[in-house]
Chain A
Amino acid sequence: MRPFAVGATAALLSVGLFLALWVSPPDSYQGEYVRILYVHVPAALAAYGAAAVACGASALYLWRRDLRWDFVGRAGAELAALFSGLTLLTGMLWGKPVWGVWWAWDARLVTTAVLFLLYVGCLLVRDLADDPERGRRLSAAVAVLAFLDVPVVHYSVVWFRTLHQGPSISLQGVKLAPEFLLPLAVNTLAYLALLGVLLAERARLASLEVER
């Protein structure tokens, strides 16, 4: 099961990369820079997925006090920090040529930055707690608090000011041309698979650390 999952994820990532770099045409407005979005958007989704996993697993750990939930929560928090960092980085790389600025005070970027900071704090709390058991409990509390706070942060920034093209994929209908949609869909799938594999591997590593 494990080699299959890793292999399938690697294959999906390669196909996604191929579609993004060769198959996808340049965008009429963004030009070649549209290719950055094939990393940016999937990474953002993976970051929020990881944060959701961290919150859920942490809540279950606090309720059940089963170490296995802590391993998952820890993996989720680390990956939330990693993928939100990647999202911020690719967002800036894309923003400079397309918007003309490295950073825009856009709601989604600011929310992702807040998510990044809170999960960095969550990891620091775990490492700096005076006792490993306490570290698990405290970082789980931060993971829950951070994830519940993020929607409120998001809507408050949306209403405060926003400068972003509206979401291209909404529930009402898909506005994206199919030649862009396919690479985006495949890459999103690939990043979510990558998230799943990394979550499982990191949780397994954490359990091995405890056994040792």
Chain B
Amino acid sequence: MRPLDPVVTEALSRRFGAVVALRGVGLRVREGTCLLLVGPNGSGKTTLLRVLATALRPTEGRAWVGGYDVVSEGHRVREVCVYLGTSPGVYAGLTGFENLCLAADLCGRPRRQVPELLAWAGLEPVAYTLTGTYSLGMRRRLALARVRLQEPRVLLLDEPFVGLDEDGARLVSELVAGVKDRGGAVVLATHDHHRARALCDAVAELDSGRLLSYGPAGLAGAVNRG
């Protein structure tokens, strides 16, 4: 039975040798909403996002993204979902322009969008400079431009605010709002609750791989406690 919601997990577990990073996590993110993942370091937030992104295989349990099974239909999941991890994933030896052109080629988008995206990310002045000279925040802005290029239905963000100034944080908000408007879903893991609170409709709190609480953003105590 294919679930209708864009992100669904059932009893999802992942072990790394003897370490259990996720234990039986069951979640559901509805269309047009954003889920905030909170929890201390090592609570399994990144593992959960990586399993959803098909970058890690679950040890037990199942997960669907965009209605597709992350294990058996990984190639379909990658067509609808973009994961932005803690590493911006840009090539230091390429310019910002070249990095985005590569992304456009790889995901089959027209290259003529690239200049416009660089302007959106505020990187126009450094578009033809090697990204090896960029600051962390600038590299993250470039990664955000890549996300915008791909226009995903499901967006998975791991600590998206790291290194970003207020303008940069606004780019994240725009991306999240865009996905929500298109009827997609966002899962966002961060310790920056102040910035994330405005974007999110629900909060899930993880600890040692367990789902502690899960509910609408207003009701769960997690954000306030965190």
Contacts and interface: CB of A to CB of B under 8 A. Distances in A.
A168 to B, nearest CB: 51
B195 interface: no
Interface string A106-142: 0000000000000000000000000111000000000
B57 interface: yes
A133 B17 CA distance: 10
A131 B17 CA distance: 7
Interface string A129-162: 0011100000000000000000000000000000
Contacts of B17: 131-132
Contacts of A132: 17
Interface residues on B, range: under 10
The SS class assigned to the A binding surface is helix
Interface in B17-61: 17, 57
Interface string B3-20: 000000000000011000
Interface in A10-32: none
Contacts of A133: 57
Interface in B166-209: none
A195 B16 CA distance: 34
Nearest to A65: B71
Q: Which 4 pairs show the lowest CB-CB distances between chains A and B?
A: A133-B57, A131-B16, A132-B17, A131-B17
B156 to A, nearest CB: 21
Nearest to A134: B57
B31 to A, nearest CB: 32
Nearest to A132: B17
A131 B16 CA distance: 7
Contacts of B57: 133
Nearest to A133: B57
A54 B43 CA distance: 40
A75 B29 CA distance: 44
A132 B57 CA distance: 12
Contacts of A131: 16-17
Interface string B143-158: 0000000000000000
A53 B17 CA distance: 28
B72 to A, nearest CB: 10
Contacts of B16: 131
B224 to A, nearest CB: 38
A132 B17 CA distance: 8
A9 B17 CA distance: 38
4 contacts: A131-B16, A131-B17, A132-B17, A133-B57
A210 to B, nearest CB: 13
Interface in B50-81: 57
A117 to B, nearest CB: 29
Nearest to B56: A131
B169 to A, nearest CB: 34
Nearest to B16: A131
A66 B57 CA distance: 15
A131 B57 CA distance: 11
A132 B16 CA distance: 9
A199 to B, nearest CB: 28
B18 to A, nearest CB: 11
B74 to A, nearest CB: 13
Nearest to B71: A65
A208 B16 CA distance: 20
A131 B47 CA distance: 15
Interface in A62-120: none
A131 B59 CA distance: 12
B19 to A, nearest CB: 11
